[in-house]
Structure 1
Amino acid sequence: MKLSQKEFVFNNEVVTRFDLYNSLFLTLPFYQVKYTGTLLPFFKSHVEEGISKKLSPVEIIESFFNKYQQYIKDADRFHLLFRFIQYIERQVVLFDAIEDSAFSKLETGDDSSSMQVLLQQVINQPDTHAKVRAALQKFSLRLVLTAHPTQFYPGSVLGIITELTEALKVNNINQIYLLLQQLGKTPFLNKEKPTPVDEAVSLAWFLENVFYQSASSIKEKLDTEFDFLAEEEHQTLELGFWPGGDRDGNPNVNLQATQAVTELLRKVIYRCYARDYKELRKRLTFRGVEQYMAELDKQLNKETRPVELHSKNQQAIILENLEAIKKVLQKEHDGLFSNLVDDLIRKVKIFGNYFATLDIRQDSRILRKTHQYCLRESPIRHRFPKDYYDQTEEEKLKNIRFVEADFYSPDLADDMVKDTLDTIRYMREIQEMNGEKACHRFIISNCQQASDILQLVNLFLWSGWKADSLTIDFVPLFETVNDLQEAAGIMEKLYTNPFYTAHLKKRNNRQTIMLGFSDSTKDGGYLMANWSIYKAKVELTAMSRKYDIDLAFFDGRGGPPARGGGKTHRFYASMGHEIANDYIQLTIQGQTISTQYGSVDSARFNMEQLINAGIVSALNQENGDTIDENGRELIQNMADESYRYFMELRGNPLFLPYLEHLSPLKLLSEINISSRPVKRNSGAELKLEDLRAISFVTAWSQLKQNIPGFYGVGAALKKMEQEGKWEDLKNLYRQSSFFKTIIDNCMMSMSKSNFNITATLANDPVYGAFWTMLKNEYELTSSLLLKLSDTKVLMEESPVERQSIALREKIILPLVVIQHYALQQLNSPELNQETTNLYNKLIIRTVYGIVNAGRNLA
């Protein structure tokens, strides 16, 4: 079979080069372990052979050690296994760096979803050019970086990866060899759990080293192509930030963290500006610019900056001086180096005084508790009925009052209550220091009723904010299947509330609504989650248009398909007129950040894809993916069947015990990659509803079973086939980009599953039948997906991605086997505490490598 050009490039630039540099890598001695690199290939081959024979992990590991008599003692065996893990972790980094170095060659620009193709199409088409320009004047893309623990390398490792990628681009052997040695000596693990500020520092690395350049270069391309003038400029690209602001279930995020992250973001953006200014100063040695350069020096250089400037929004004065310099250059110096000035102007306009908008998020239950406290303790309590909290929702909406007060939370208040009120007050300080866009959104998690939003408005008005200058957007987050069904009705109650309507008018009549994917997957399974969000978008769009509200959807999507990721741009490009799509806003997190936005090239490409998707959708609203009644009925029937099947699985008494005993779920809380607990109510007994979606998905991915990404899909497809609707289903797959993307992402999730690793569980007296049920659904889903897509292997239409996944899975297969070996050994009754601790440490260390290799984990 003839290879495509992209496959040919991938084989040459990635596969062959990985084999070459990996052979060099294996000769490096780490921590005086001379023969680890020599033994690792033999160990990998032994593991692969054992898996093919469906041996247990214990049998595989023990038979390997029996071949090498020098590893008789337990201490020597543990030592070697830890060294294997050390090597494999770094092999993952090497593969990442090689793949990233080949990015520009793999993404050649012939992809129809790239912005370059869109620009080429409009060059000689004046009408289309005008339409695209008009669409861009309204459209905006906001990427929000979150600190969810799905991949975190320390900053030192990220720096090495960046340098290694650049060295690989030019095949600098000496530099590559030095960096590989440095990589071998550099710790991958944090000694202690990171704080929210530590997480912010990690993500700020991407802001400074990736987004600062990539976002401005995209804006330059758009400005050049469409002749956008400064006075008509619209902020096409925006960045958001959650570390230090996201309080939902994270007890470590508090006012002090918010203050520290606010200062961090400002410090980092000024460091970027100062670096650019230094380059500018080298070039602008002409007369006429001295006074403006001196003012910029005062504003941007920390050595010369007066203390009072640290608490002022300097964006306007920086832009004023840059514009003045540009005029001098154009008038007196033939515009020499104006491009450098334009570049800095563009960046200051995009990133302002704050770099990325800090979102504040809190659970509605905490906000209700805070509101109830204020009604009991604050001076405005007499304005509300005494039985307000015993009233129905309709009665609350009639009786709620919007009065202003200046209530300071006393020190004796509950910590969460005090933090909520103090943070609301501090948001105004942030806006005064860094501008309104620095912190203008409060997200209400677990939003279940209109009063959740209106009571939050109360908290702002009681904390010194004024109704006429309430420069805050209140963003409800609907996440569970039930909340998604109720969302449109909740928003109608808000749109008909006089105070809230008046507030929206002051906010340009725009309402942002966040829709979360992760918990809806855990709540109702893969198909129901996707379909519930789609239906909610249709209903919310209709409701917003009914009241003439400009709606922006903010999508909480994780990296893996099981958490809403995958080919995200396809969803946005396919939206028809039923769904508001003028703005694209989504979370990016963990391995999604490092995979899709880990380098300037990849970040630029993926942002351009999303911009292209938004513009294509705007231009083709009438021809977009509006699913007809028959298609809706098909998907609804599938979602219902999938939901029934998934809920049966959740209701199985072995469901949680299976995860607890056979995956590293219980040990995830000991992994120092996140400040967040694995579950809410951390001191209580483990319940599925308290388990965080990330922990839920991670546990299944460590098992290499990825249940959240496919379970129930096969059952739903089978039902459609039995009811004689298969041809209708195939037509839907061909015609609906939405449905095709769901199916294709499901295939991606299944491509990272490998039931052979746990095959011996089929005979387990406790879990055998449960494991067999999961395996049967996997095989059913796989066979019917291939039949539906007319393909012979999963992801056949994406051969390069399929090969990349296969290579990653091959690299980490020994880690998975070591992990399951350790988990099985923990069941031995003879273990002492010291040995138990060593097995736990083995498990924890393997989790890092498996997660980091995931790049769209499940």
Structure 2
Amino acid sequence: MPTEPKLKRFNQNVLSKYRIYNSIFMTLPFDTLSKTVALLPLFYDTCKDGFERHEDPTTIVNTFFKKYQARRSEQSQINLLFRFIQYIERQVVLFDAVEDAAFSVVNNMEGIGTLRSLKENAQADHKTELLQEYLEAFKVRIVLTAHPTQFYPGAVLGIITDLAEAIKVDNLVEINSLLGQLGKTPFFKDKKPTPYDEAVNLIWYLKNVFYHSFGGIYDYVQQNIFDDQEIDNSLINIGFWPGGDRDGNPFVTPQITLDVARKLKESIIKCYIKDVKYLRRRLTFRGIRERIIDINHRLHNTLLHKEASSRISLEEFRKELFDIRNILIEQHQSLFVDKVTTLINRTTLFGYHFASLDIRQDSRVHDAMFRALVKELIANGNDTFPADFFELPLKAQLKHLSEVSGVIEDVEFKDEMAINIVETIRAMKTIQDKNGEIACNRYIISNNQTTLNVLQLFAMLKIIAFGDDLTADVVPLFETVTDLEASPSVMEELYTNPVYRKHLEARGNRQTIMLGFSDGTKDGGYLMANWGIFRAKEALTELSRKYDIDVIFFDGRGGPPARGGGKTHQFYASLGPTVEDKEIQLTIQGQTISSNFGTIDSSQYNMEQLISSGISNRLNDKNLEMRGEDKEVMDKLASLSYDTYVNFKKHPKFLSYLEHMSTLKYYAKTNIGSRPSKRGKSEGLVFADLRAIPFVGSWSQLKQNVPGFYGVGTALKYYEDRGEFEKVQHLYQESRFFRALIANSMMSLSKSFFNLTRYMSEDPEYGEFWTTIYTEYETTKRLILKLTGFKELMEDELVAKASIAVRESIVLPLLTIQQYALKKIQELEKAEVRDEEKIRIFEKMVTRSLFGNINASRNSA
């Protein structure tokens, strides 16, 4: 039977099912639900028709009440709007669950970009041995970050998972119960989570998704590509930031870091115990059963921290499993060997650490910590640093920093900053001793600008805990456009520093460099942020090859295109031979975790796509370097786009527009993350203090998505105006990298809806500013369609386009309510007598409407 087209599969298995289950949801016997359900479709139609007539949200809401609910009191109207918000949030959850359930039907789990496809293509091209060679050296690391851009509490995530499972088998009784549970479960949190809470929430994915999906991928590679032979490479692993990422988060303490590492170890041991219990039921043979029972007891003792002699180390655990497997092969006709091999593979992937905990802090904070540390050492008579250290020339400081040795002991620190860095670095060493080196062996310096930033940390790691045997890597993070341009000179100074070079040799001549992150797009605009990273990678690759260093690029991909993300596998498949590609490392955060890795199917599929994109990049001889003339065009586009974006940021209304016309200040009230919503302590709004999540999120709530497209249209128009548009078209045809950028920008444009805020065009203060944004949107859309030859945006991504369309239609009433509430607040704040109670109610309405809008943007990654 022929397979239906992908869009048809989506319409049948997602859209149709959503409509059916949404109708069931509407019949639930809750007191206030029936009226809400009856009125919401009428409100949706009023919104849709109103925006088509270019009406403003206030007029639309007033028209609805006048037409359908004229007798309602003002308080009753407000209550109804809150009930609409609650119901729409749950519709988004239902759609998520339906989409999750249909994932393996809509997506071809053995098609292009999967491991099966990779294997078969390699066989057809007689490149199986080459594929094995690459897979033994290649790695993918996804790093789960502590940056929540999604508002689902743990209880709701559990409902989505269970609902998806029930929908897969059309279990109507279970679906009915779960929809009832969904209707009663609160979506918002009364207080902010702690960093430990955030870690526990993400460990749920480790236990319930990654343990199974990553294990399954490894099993497949071993069985089908390596013919059941051992692979000398873990291939895939997980990094973890909650509990380790201190950047701008004063609530992450050394004790939190230790607690998270302990929780990670406990969680993986519980997974192993579960698998060992299964083996205990199957391996009932003489000489094996007793050993399995013993492993089970010793794992429990390790979990409960019993006396050391009764525990089992990772090395002992693995040795026992290998011995048992050999006995099964030699004496028991290989019965259940595959189950034992699967568990061995899990220990290869996850050890006793489960995920590698990264530490991260800002270079400016490190500088303050370092100065506090040195001053205390000098005051205590410690001679690690000379008394005049800070008066020395920079070159002398760098030399001293790289050459310090020995571990400081018996110094009682009093300065809070000195104590913090000392305890943090000692915590890293403690975690390595308890969970293995890989459990915590990277320290990332965000906002890294200079060689001094790196060597300050390098020196502190050595003298505080590690001594000359430094089993940790210093990872500079170059974020802004300026820092990216300076990165090669910083790294060359490090590569030519004899002591640092010796450290790299001890670490296998490998240097990890983190590039970009969501602040890059916020700082330099969409094209420049991405092109700046690409050019930095090229320069750093060339430099590292010159010094025989294997450079590993760690990408801060930030979720949606506006935060440096987008379609990740397309991005990696497009890099070409001038960028080192032995390993892919990237951050996964917010809704990207649940949308791309939230179920075993989606996690397996998207991880295979990542592995395949990295490997096929090496197997594919056609993936050629971008030509000189194309690079010139790309340079010019990025430069024009950057200038346009920077001038836009300098607009006198830029910050006040965000502050007064968007939801920016409401992000701090949502209680979704443990971090403060801005970096500095300044009273007023300062651009440098803005975090990327509320910055990008505020544009998204306005349905303007500025960071994902602003400047692109102006850059393309430069070539159109000069009659040289064919140069950009040639770049688009020849460069997979540029095509990936344009595809991501199209997604940002697709999620824009300027009719929502069209009323702002007539605002006496912000009308001209709104028109500036809208003009750039129209220019970008028109020229991207001209460039691609499409009649409409995303016409080559019909399923993603359809998914976005459904989600946008679900939240249209929510967006309308949000804008209505924002307008009400503005009016109330201008009134002669402020009604604080009413302002509070409408502020709550804005905050509550943030939730569903963000959750509905799940497919942004």
What TM-score, normalized by structure 2, do the two folds share?
0.96
Shift of 1:685: 2.1
Shift of 1:852: 0.6
Shift of 1:683: 4.7
Matched-pair contact (CA < 8 Å) for 2:109–2:605 = no
1:74 equivalent in structure 2: 74
- Distance in 1 of aligned mates of 2:313 and 2:157: 31
1:244 equivalent in structure 2: 243
Identity %: 46
1:434 equivalent in structure 2: 435
Unaligned runs of 5+ in 1: none
Letter aligned with residue 660 of structure 2: H
- What are the Cα deviations for residues 402-446 of structure 1, in whole angstroms up to 9, with x where unaligned? 2213246745212x4322210101111101100000000000111
Mapping for residues 708-787 of structure 1, pairs under 5 Å: 708-787=707-786
Matched-pair contact (CA < 8 Å) for 1:567–1:745 = yes
Shift of 1:604: 0.2
- Distance in 2 of aligned mates of 1:610 and 1:196: 29
- What are the Cα deviations for residues 471-495 of structure 1, in whole angstroms up to 9, with x where unaligned? 1011000000000000000000000
Letter aligned with residue 713 of structure 1: V
- What are the Cα deviations for residues 500-540 of structure 1, in whole angstroms up to 9, with x where unaligned? 00000000000000002311111111111011001000000
- Distance in 2 of aligned mates of 1:713 and 1:746: 8
2:842 equivalent in structure 1: 839
CA pair 404-807 structure 1, distance change in 2 beyond 3 A: same
2:453 equivalent in structure 1: 452
2:253 equivalent in structure 1: 254
- Distance in 2 of aligned mates of 1:310 and 1:713: 64
CA pair 20-232 structure 1, distance change in 2 beyond 3 A: closer
Matched-pair contact (CA < 8 Å) for 2:742–2:784 = yes
- What are the Cα deviations for residues 338-392 of structure 1, in whole angstroms up to 9, with x where unaligned? 2211111111111010100000001111111122122222168645454433455
Instruction: Name the Cα RMSD after superposition.
Output: 1.9
Matched-pair contact (CA < 8 Å) for 1:521–1:562 = yes
2:812 equivalent in structure 1: 813
Matched-pair contact (CA < 8 Å) for 1:312–1:433 = no
Matched-pair contact (CA < 8 Å) for 2:747–2:860 = no
CA pair 713-707 structure 1, distance change in 2 beyond 3 A: same
Letter aligned with residue 88 of structure 1: I
- What are the Cα deviations for residues 778-829 of structure 1, in whole angstroms up to 9, with x where unaligned? 0010000000000010111111111111110000111111111110000222
2:462 equivalent in structure 1: 461
2:405 equivalent in structure 1: 403
- What are the Cα deviations for residues 154-206 of structure 1, in whole angstroms up to 9, with x where unaligned? 22111111111111111111111111111111111111100001100111111
Shift of 1:89: 0.5
**Structure 2 SS opposite 1:575:** coil
Letter aligned with residue 371 of structure 2: Q
Letter aligned with residue 157 of structure 1: V
Shift of 1:114: 2.5
What TM-score, normalized by structure 1, do the two folds share?
0.96
- What are the Cα deviations for residues 593-613 of structure 1, in whole angstroms up to 9, with x where unaligned? 000001000000000000001
Mapping for residues 233-382 of structure 1, pairs under 5 Å: 233-301=232-300, 307-309=306-308, 314-378=313-377, 382=383
- What are the Cα deviations for residues 667-697 of structure 1, in whole angstroms up to 9, with x where unaligned? 1111110011111014532200110111110
Please identify, of 393-402 and 198-207, the stretch whose mean Cα deviation from structure 2 is larger: 393-402
Matched-pair contact (CA < 8 Å) for 2:710–2:776 = yes
- What are the Cα deviations for residues 291-345 of structure 1, in whole angstroms up to 9, with x where unaligned? 3113211222369956135997821111112122212222222111122111111
Shift of 1:719: 0.3
- What are the Cα deviations for residues 212-244 of structure 1, in whole angstroms up to 9, with x where unaligned? 000000000100123277765211011010000
Please identify, of 608-617 and 678-687, the stretch whose mean Cα deviation from structure 2 is larger: 678-687
Letter aligned with residue 449 of structure 1: T
CA pair 128-303 structure 1, distance change in 2 beyond 3 A: closer
Unaligned runs of 5+ in 2: none
Please identify, of 453-462 and 707-716, the stretch whose mean Cα deviation from structure 2 is larger: 453-462
CA pair 309-650 structure 1, distance change in 2 beyond 3 A: farther
Query: Is 1:649–2:648 an aligned residue pair?
Result: yes
Matched-pair contact (CA < 8 Å) for 1:704–1:755 = yes
How many pairs align? Answer: 852
Mapping for residues 524-543 of structure 1, pairs under 5 Å: 524-543=524-543
**Structure 2 SS opposite 1:689:** helix
Mapping for residues 650-665 of structure 1, pairs under 5 Å: 650-665=649-664
- Distance in 1 of aligned mates of 2:747 and 2:344: 42
**Structure 2 SS opposite 1:511:** strand
Query: Is 1:569–2:572 an aligned residue pair?
Result: no
Matched-pair contact (CA < 8 Å) for 1:378–1:407 = no
1:471 equivalent in structure 2: 471
Please identify, of 107-116 and 359-368, the stretch whose mean Cα deviation from structure 2 is larger: 107-116
Mapping for residues 529-678 of structure 1, pairs under 5 Å: 529-620=529-620, 623-678=622-677
Shift of 1:290: 3.0
- What are the Cα deviations for residues 223-277 of structure 1, in whole angstroms up to 9, with x where unaligned? 0123277765211011010000000111111112111111111111111111112
Shift of 1:763: 0.8
Letter aligned with residue 402 of structure 1: V
Matched-pair contact (CA < 8 Å) for 1:575–1:625 = no
- Distance in 1 of aligned mates of 2:295 and 2:383: 53
- Distance in 2 of aligned mates of 1:32 and 1:69: 15
Matched-pair contact (CA < 8 Å) for 1:147–1:242 = yes
- Distance in 2 of aligned mates of 1:118 and 1:857: 26
Letter aligned with residue 163 of structure 1: D
Matched-pair contact (CA < 8 Å) for 1:404–1:464 = no
Matched-pair contact (CA < 8 Å) for 1:408–1:421 = no
2:129 equivalent in structure 1: 130
Matched-pair contact (CA < 8 Å) for 2:151–2:188 = no
Shift of 1:624: 2.1
Matched-pair contact (CA < 8 Å) for 2:552–2:584 = yes
CA pair 413-119 structure 1, distance change in 2 beyond 3 A: same
Matched-pair contact (CA < 8 Å) for 2:302–2:312 = no
CA pair 738-831 structure 1, distance change in 2 beyond 3 A: same
